[in-house]
Amino acid sequence: MVQNVVFAMVSEGELYLRACEQTEVYFVKRASQPLLYNKRGRTIELNYYRVDEGLWSDREKLVQLSMDALFSARREKSRQRAQQRLKDLPNLTHSLEMMLWEVGIADVRTLHAFGAKRSWIKLRGVKKGLGVQVLLALAGAICGIHEAALPAATRQELVEWGHHYEKRQRR
């Protein structure tokens, strides 16, 4: 694992590289052994291939295939992150996701760009009754934590700011 990206696995003392477009051709051509995993009595073939003696002896090819596997795994992780739905973030329900879509915040990147305060203000534009709890939920979602786990100082600042904003809007 490099920077939280898995591109290889070790099983029973054997190294397996993650298959990708570049590595799969090599592994299939050589009839390399896939990594098998038993789950609830069923054997599952994972998308990893065993590094055999021939590949161990060709250091240059091993490094090339390893780098290909790493870069492919990084691309895949980035793609998955980009496709993450808002409701997959902590604190965000399906209904809150729908409200965010309604105000033009349709993805995680946009939520991060707007920030908790601006997003909350946009939401209050369509639903006036949204309380400070939603502001805390948005801040937690952006940080990747449950709103209750927000640092006390951050939480207090948001609550005070939210109440001040609500008072100004009532005038």
**What is the average pLDDT across 129-138?**
95
pLDDT per position as a tens digit, 82-132: 667 899 899 999 999 999 999 999 989 899 999 999 999 999 999 998 999
Q: Cα–Cα distance between 37 and 117 in angstroms, integer? A: 46
- 136 in the same domain as 118: yes
- 160 in the same domain as 99: yes
Which of 47, 64, 82 is the last residue in one of the domains?
82
- 49 in the same domain as 13: yes
Whether 95 maps to a domain, the answer reads yes
- 91 in the same domain as 128: yes
* Structure confidence at residue 77 (pLDDT): 82
Q: How many CB atoms lie within 10 A of CB 129?
A: 6
Looking at the 3D structure of the chain, how many domains does it have?
2
Q: What is the CATH number of the domain that holds 61?
A: 3.30.1460.30
Whether 2 maps to a domain, the answer reads no
> Domain residues for 95?
86-170
Looking at 107-171, list the stretches that DSSP marks H as alpha helix, in order from N- to C-terminal side. 108-126, 132-143, 152-170
- Using alpha carbons only, how large is the chain's radius of gyration in Å? 24
Q: Cα–Cα distance between 141 and 92 in angstroms, integer? A: 7
Q: Cα–Cα distance between 131 and 152 in angstroms, integer? A: 18
Q: What is the CATH number of the domain that holds 145?
A: 1.10.150.20
Whether 1 maps to a domain, the answer reads no
Which of 82, 109, 127 is the last residue in one of the domains?
82
- 59 in the same domain as 91: no
**What is the average pLDDT across 5-16?**
92
